[in-house]
Chain A
Amino acid sequence: MATGRDDFVIAIRSAFLKKKDKQRFSLLTLIFLSIFTIILSNFNFKIIQIIKSSINEVTYRSSFFVSIPENYIKGLKQKFDKHMKVYDAYNETKTELENLKEKKLVNEYLKIENEKLRSLIDENIGTNEVLAKVLIDKESPFLKSIVLNKGTKDNVKIGMAVLDGVYLAGQIIEVNFTNSRALLLSDLNSKIPSILEPNNVQAVVSGTGLEHGIIEHTQDDFNQDINTSEIIVYTSGRGGLFKPGIPIGKISRDANQKIDFFSDFTQLDFVKITSYQIGSK
């Protein structure tokens, strides 16, 4: 019995402390170093922030260059898929264009009316936009985020909205000198105050870690209220970070409160990083 325990202790000691010919550090030293790194990365000291930021800068750039062959192959596959669906896509686009032409006329009128009403209550929304290129879009199965090529030197700040065209794609959660990281709407940790139209119900759009999102904190009788085939989800502007009315996604009647985001997060090449100043003139 004692021999068995001795063998176990010898095996453990050998595993953790013994260095092979080409190993410079023992396993135990490196495990302690990684624990030390975890603890340090939790502190917000300036020196730690600078080191973290430098590591991020180097790694993001390196990852961008290492990913070039893989991204090229992915791009080829997408091109091929699009090419195969070109006829169906043409018919779909034609119908959609007809509908949009009709809606455009109504929208123009509403836009002018909206501006008039805002000027009546003495309110304006200022916008600052920065166009950014997506450097890394490696979506881990656990965290959904992208790295952008604009950082503090371009006045990017934490909390700014990330738009794909006119659609909301996410928000900035980390900023370095020349790049930044945006958390996508599909991430489990993403929570966006929103409004469901045409029912005018306040809700929170939450990511699921999958391709779709879900709505939370709606009125109890919301399900009975659904009398349209499709509900469009917009930002409500309640958090104070985003302006109201940025389109997020749509909920189909049979989708059981699942949101299909308007933006396709796998196809992001360029995005707009935007901040809003909402207030009186």
Chain B
Amino acid sequence: MSALNKSPFLKIFLSYMPLTMLLFSVFNELNLNYLKLEYFAFNFVHILIFFWTLRNPNHLGYLAIFFAGIINDVVIGIPLGISSFCYLLLCSVTAYIRNITLSPNFIKDWISFLFTILLINSIQVIILDLFFLVEVNYMNYLINSGFTFLFYPIFFVIFNILNQSISKQTND
């Protein structure tokens, strides 16, 4: 068991887990849309980027996030660069929070997350609606932001466990 815990394969697997999840979710457009619950959708990518760039940025590089944004734009069919821009804005908020925070606190992170996703979704709507004249449903964006905010604690717990496993493996 101990030998398994120190396996280099497991170490590599865990350290690339955030990046794999990010790429998998942008290729798959993971939002549980197919559950057919009207209006129900959340943005898993926003939760993932917010958590990892805030708590352990070494495992999710900005360049990978930029490319993930490009892939997301292609998959959902919006002009190239918009998602990358929004994801990187999310990263800049987390980088700022990381710089001004001495002791991380879940509640503060959660509230910051709400303001951040509202900000980046607003920016995305403005770019799509005003610059590219793509008609979007504001209510969908608002509800999506609401669900993304509500789902954050669940994924926080899961990612925290993963983060601890990664840290443990790295320190071994």
Chain A residues engaging chain B, CB cutoff 8 angstroms:
7, 10-12, 14-16, 20-27, 30-31, 33-42, 52, 55-56, 59-60, 62-63, 66-67, 70, 74, 136, 138-143, 145, 174, 181, 188-189, 208-211, 266
Contact = CB atoms under 8 A, between A and B. Distances in A.
A11 B34 CA distance: 41
B28 A66 contact: yes
B41 A20 contact: no
Contacts of B98: 15
B63 A31 contact: no
B57 A20 contact: yes
A208 B39 CA distance: 12
A209 B140 contact: yes
B96 A266 contact: no
A74 B34 contact: yes
Interface residues of B, number: 51
B17 interface: no
Interface stretch (B64-72, B111-119, B149-157): B64-72
A63 B27 contact: yes
B100 interface: yes
Interface string B45-84: 0000000000001100111011001110011111111101
14 contacts: A16-B92, A22-B58, A24-B63, A25-B62, A27-B95, A31-B92, A33-B84, A38-B82, A59-B74, A60-B75, A66-B28, A142-B78, A143-B78, A189-B134
Contacts of A208: 137
A34 B81 contact: yes
Given A14-B95, A63-B75, A66-B28, A21 B137 contact: no
B28 A142 contact: no
Contacts of B77: 140, 143, 145, 174, 181
